[in-house]
Amino acid sequence: MRMKILIARMNHETNTFSPVATPLEAFGRDGPCYGEDAYRENAGMRTAMSAFIDAAEREDAQIITPISASANPSGRVAAAAYDAICASIVEAADGCDAVMLDLHGAMVAENSPDGEGDLLERVRRVLPHAPIAVSLDLHANVTQKMIDHADVIVSFKTYPHVDMYESGEHAARLLLDQMHGKARPVIAWAQPPLITHTLRSATAEGAMKRAVDAARAAEGEDGVLAVSVLPGFSLADIEAPCISVVVVANGERAKAQGVANRIARQIWNEREGFVYRSAPLVHSISEGAQLARATDKPVLLLDHGDNCMSGGTCDTTDAFEEALKQGLDGIVVGPLCDPQAVAKLFAAGEGATVTVGIGNKLASVASRGKPPLEVTGVVRALTDGEYIISGPTYTGQRAYMGRAAVIETPKACILVTERTHEPWDLGVFESVGIDPRTARFLILKSRMYCRPVFVPIAGGLVECDSRGVTSSDYGLFSYGNLKRPVYPLDANVEY
């Protein structure tokens, strides 16, 4: 008989300090994709769910794809949205021989502090004996429930994430080996009391690179099937948004635990390497101005304090204002999220000269009651805000910025959108008629994902902390659920 495999996707990184709402409609263009649409959204793409589909099709399995739900990072997921997504998966599980789930791992819902763990617990209740494989984002906040209710867990090993497909491929291979009697996966994990900074989780350098290198080396050891290092997502006010090491071994839990403990100890010994301390914004913008004097290429000013893919509002104007204050020109900035400003620019029409207040409209740690930034300029473009991502992240997928408008002032071209949007691709700007290569300065609401496509066209890069809801200064945030002590918030932490 053909195997029946459930394959689904539920992705959301929750910033509990973000005021950006996360209703069901946030998961996709106008909500999740279901059934055949969920299959089509992932088949032939580069997500972990894509790899699951490919693996199942090679097995000639019957594939059930109840839902594909992915939303940009934002505030807590609405209870109704979480319940609807979980119900789609759980209700489809009955009668399945195996489950492959493409999960982020850092979801917090209004009614669940452990979105993935609670989902896995429910799936396991329906299928007490069927193997469950999970692919996680590198920034997952691993919990005991996730460990208890999955047979296989594999995370990305790259940040920026360019191995989503490969992580799914790895997880699927281990699950199928289990089903064919070739392996007996067991999971162990370790979690030092360390909340990391996202800017110290880039896998090409520093302590994080050394941790991932250790994970890859351990996968070459006899009996070790997969090793994942997950720095976690620290902007979640949960008990332990900490770094984790998850190891899958072949039948030897003691072996798995030993590897997890060894790499966790290495991480703890290098804990300072996972801490990022921001320079004052005025210094960062000044550094960018100096870099521009030595290059004819754009200088990237990355406003990571209001970073889209960590739950930023994308409507703070601090970095842009400081650039104007210091006399910078030739600026391209965006996408800035401001549906009200977009409506006014559409009402004015292309070619119109208009004065509009942009940004600072969502109450957050960064806005501090600031009024919108008033700018006067010419409306240069009005579009539906859609384009196809050329890669390397989410290659081939259609991106949705909501309606998009460009207003040009004497010193800047400002891209304003209805939705928060990560600058994954040059298409963010090219789709609205802006050539980012001709800018003198590119102010992007990004931390890392822009780098594979924008660094190659740039003459320099400066990280700018605008003190938004994704700031690296954890002193801006009030943690109420975090288990203390934890490094680096506390001194004399032991592990």
* Residue in 358, 341, 367, 278 with CA at minimum distance from that of residue 17: 367
Instruction: Write out 164-228 in H/E/C secondary structure.
Output: HHHHHHHHHHHHHHHHCCCCCEEEEEECCCECCCHHHCCCCCHHHHHHHHHHHHHCCCCCEEEEE
Provide the token pair at 104: 């982020």
The pLDDT score that the predictor gives to residue 394 is 78
Residue 453 is inside which H or E element, if any?
A: helix 451-454
The pLDDT score that the predictor gives to residue 363 is 65
Query: Pseudo-torsion of CA 461, 467, 471, 473, nearest 10°?
Result: 110
Rg (CA), the chain: 22
- How far, in Å, are 16, 35, 105, 121, 236 from residue 113 at the CA level? 10, 27, 11, 14, 9
The pLDDT score that the predictor gives to residue 415 is 98
**In terms of pTM, does the model score above 0.85?**
yes
Handedness of CA 330, 332, 338, 344 (dihedral sign): positive
Calpha distance 485→341 (Å, rounded): 44
Domains and CATH numbers, the chain: 4-274 (3.40.50.2300), 281-471 (no CATH)
The pLDDT score that the predictor gives to residue 98 is 98
Provide the token pair at 262: 């060894």
The pLDDT score that the predictor gives to residue 367 is 52
* DSSP 8-state class, residue 109: B
3-state secondary structure of 357: strand
For 127-163, where are the alpha helices, taking DSSP H only? 144-149
In one-letter notation, the amino acid at residue 209 is: K
For the chain (495 residues), the mean pLDDT of every run of 10, in chain order, is 95 96 94 97 95 98 98 96 98 97 98 98 98 98 98 96 95 98 98 97 96 98 98 98 98 97 98 95 97 97 94 94 97 97 98 97 68 96 95 83 97 97 95 97 94 96 93 92 97 94
Provide the token pair at 3: 């195997």
Half-sphere exposure of 27 (CA within 13 A, CB side): 26
- How far, in Å, are 239, 361, 396, 432, 465 from residue 365 at the CA level? 22, 12, 35, 31, 13
